[in-house]
Amino acid sequence: MTDYLYEHFNNRELSWLDFNERVLQEAMDDRTPLMERLKFLAIFSSNLDEFYMVRVGGLKDEVLAGFNRPEDKTGLTPKQQIKAISMRAQELVEIQYATYKKITKQLSNQNVRFLRTKHLNHTQLDFVKEYFRTHVFPVLTPIAVDAYRPFPMLLSKSLNIAVEIASNGEGKKRLALVQVPSVLPRYLELPTDEEEHTDLILLEDLIIQFIDSLFKGFVVESTMPFRITRNADMPFHEEDSRDVLKQIEKELKKRRYGVGIRLEVQQRSLRKELLFMLQDVLDLQDRDIFIVDGPIDLTFLFGIYSQIGIEYDDMINETLIPFIPEGLESGKDLFQSIAKQDYLLHHPYHSFDPVVRFIAQAAKDPNVLAIKQTLYRVSGDSPIIKALTDAAESGKQVTVLVELKARFDEEKNIQWAKQLEKAGAHVIYGYKELKTHSKITLVVRILEGGVLQRFVHLGTGNYNDTTAKLYTDIGLLTTNEELAEDATNFFNWLSGYGERPSWHQFETSPDDMKHFFIQKIEDEIKLHEKYGNGRIVAKMNSITDRAIITKLYDASSAGVKIDLIVRGICCLRPGIKGVSENIQVVSIIDRYLEHSRIFYFYQNGNEDLYCSSADWMTRNMKKRIEILFPILDPSHKTYIKDMMALQLVDNVKARRQRSDGRYTYVKRGNKEDEIQSQIIIHQYTGGRWNNIPSVFEREPSNWAEREVLRLRAENEKMTDD
C-alpha cells in the first residue's frame, strides 16, 4: 500500500462543515419552496449544535488533556483543528443569517410575517399582553446574580435573557437571568384582520416586552438573549460498570451541564459588558462566541415549517406518495408472500409500512415462536415497540438488542428497554465498548408437520417509522436459508458467549468487514490489470477510514474507475493526478436524506453488490457491530444499479468534489434537461419513468450513462406495451 501525503486527504471536521454548507445551500436555492428553505435553515442549526456538542467538545477534551500531536490525516493538531473549525463555522453562520433575512423578507411578501413588539397593532398588543399574563408570567423564574447567588449552571442549549436592572434613584446596575421556557412554544401566532395573513412573534421578544413585571421596584436597563452550548461528548467507561443501563443513566445527567464550548448572542441586543461577563464565567475564547444577526437558535423553524407551512401549499414540496410492492399490501399475508419471493424495499419511495406490519403480524401469528431484533433508533411512539411488547406478553420468545449508547437517543432507548423487559422480552445491550449498529430482524415460524421456517429483514437504516419517511434506505425481506442461518448465528453470538461464527453470506465488523472491503478492492485491481474493465461504485453517508481510502487510491492509480456517492464527510480527495484521477465523488442534498450504504464491484462482469448498516468510517469498521449482506436476486441488483446510475448523472441537486476538497454544483449544458434523481427514482419505483432527459441522446461515456440508457429503452418498451 502506498503511503500518501497529508494533502491527499480532507480533514474530517472541515469536511463535515463542507457538508453542512451544502445543507445551507438548499436554504439559499431559489428553486426550493420558501417553507422548505426555512426547514433547511433549521437542519443547518440542528446539525451545527450536535457538531459542537460532540466533535468540538471532543477536540477541546484532547486539548485540555495535553494532546497536541498531529493525529489527523491532514497533519493538524487538535488546537489547529479547533481554530480552523471556528473560522469556517463563523463564515457559515454569517451566511445562514443573511439567508434567514432574505427568506423572511420573501415570506413577508407572501403574507407570512415575523414581527417584533414595536410592529404590533393595538389588537395584537392586547393579545400578547393577555397571553403573557395567563401563559408566560406564571412559568418564568427570575434569577438574581450577586455575591450570595453565584452564576447558575444553565442547561445546554437553553435560551436565556441576561437582564441589567437598577434601583430607582440608584446608579448601581445589577444582573439577573430569565430562562425562556422550553415548555412553551417558541413562537406565537397573532390575530390578524386578513384571513390569508399569518403574523408571528417570538417568545423571547414577548418576554422582553413585559420583563419589567418580573422586577418590581427596579428599572430594566437592558436585555440580551444568549444561549450556551455544552460539551456532550459523553466519556462512557464500561470497565468499572456492572450495570450498563444504570451507568448510562448516570452519565446522561452530566451531559446537560458539561463544559461550555459555544456562546451565541443576539447582535441587536449586544451589551459588551454582559458578553465579557458571560465569556469569563464560561471560560470561553473569542472564537467560541457567535454574534448572530437574528433570532438565536433557528431550530424553531422546524415548527414553522410543520405547523404554518401546511397552510401554504405553494411554499412546500409536493408530497411524493410511497409505493407498496405487490404482495405486501395491507390485508395480505406477508409470510405467505415473502415465502414465495424476496422483496427489496427502497424507502421512502417504498412505504415502510410493510416492515411494521411484518413485525406486527409476527406478534399476532400463533405459529410464530420467536422474534429477534436489533434496535438502534426508533420513533417516539413506535409501533414496532408495541408489536414486540404484545408478542412478549403473549408468550412468544422475544429477544431485543437495544443499543443504549445510540447518541442522543439514550434516554428513549432506556425507556424502551425497561418497557420490553417488563413485558417479558429478553433485552440485551450488546458488547462492551462496541455499539451494535446492525439493522436485522429474525422471525421463526412453525409450518405444518413441525418444520421451522425463518424470515429475515435486513436493512441499511433504523427501525424508525418516522425517519423512514425522510431517509433513503434499502431493506430486504427474505427466507434465503443461508441468510437465515447467518441471522440465527448472529443473534446467538450477541446474546451468548463464544467466538464469532463463520458466515455463509454475511460480513461483519469489527475488523472483518474492513478486511473484506480491502480484499474486494484488491481483487478489482487484479481483474482490471488483466481485463481493463475495473469499476467500483459505492454509496454511503461518510468515508473516513484511512486504509480503505488508501486502497481506493491504489485502485485509481491502477486505472480502476471509481464512483463514490457520499452525502456527508469525505476524507478522500478525488482528481489528484497520479493518486485519485480516476475517482469522482458526488454528494446529493435534496428533500430526502441519502442514508443507504451500497457497494458495487464489477468483478469482470460478475457484479458483486452489497448493502450494509456501515459506512466506510473507522468507527464502523472498528467500534461497531455491523452487517454487510449481498444482494443476490438479479432484478434487485438491476434496480439498485439503476438508482445509483441516476444519482451519478443528477445535475440539479448533485455537487462534485474538486481536487482541492471543495464542492461545486454539477454544471448542466444549455441543451440538457434537468435530472433530479430523487424525483426520477420516485417515478421509476412506481413503475414508470416519463420525460427521459435528452442528455442521453449522445454516446454514453461512462457506466452511469450506459445504465440509464438501458433504463430508457426499457421504459419506452413498457410505454409501447
Question: Any catalytic annotation for residue 437?
Answer: yes
Of 346, 347, 437, 457, which residue is the catalytic one? 437
Pull the grid cell for residue 375: 434496535
Rounded to a whole number, what is the distance in angstroms from the first to the last CA of the chain?
53
Q: Are 443 and 388 in contact (CB under 8 A)?
A: no
Residue 285, number of CB atoms within 10 A of its CB: 10
Task: Indicate left, alpha or beta for 433 from its phi (over 0: left) and psi (-120 to 50: alpha).
Answer: left
Give phi and psi for 368, each to the nearest 5: -80, 125
Q: Are 476 and 344 in contact (CB under 8 A)?
A: yes
Locate the DSSP E strands across 615-674. Answer: 624-630, 654-657, 663-665
**233-242 contacts at long range (C-beta below 8 A, 24 or more positions apart):** 233/53, 233/54, 233/55, 233/57, 233/58, 233/61, 233/258, 234/407, 235/61, 236/405, 238/432, 238/433
Task: Tally helices (H) and strands (E) across the chain.
Answer: 20, 27
Cell numbers 412468544: residue:
396
Give dist(CA 387, CA 394) in Å, integer. Answer: 11
Alpha carbon distances (Å) from 261 to 57, 82, 158, 344, 461: 7, 11, 14, 44, 31
Alpha carbon distances (Å) from 589 to 10, 180, 378, 404, 678: 20, 33, 23, 30, 10
Pull the grid cell for residue 89: 463555522
Q: What is the DSSP letter of 502?
A: P
Encoded amino acid at 339, one letter: A
Q: Are 517 and 554 in contact (CB under 8 A)?
A: no
Give Cβ neighbours of residue 535 (< 8 Å, ≥ 6 apart): 524, 560, 561, 562, 600, 601, 602, 703
Q: Which residues pair with 478 in a beta bridge?
A: 456
Q: Are 19 and 89 in contact (CB under 8 A)?
A: no
| Active centre residues (catalytic) | 437
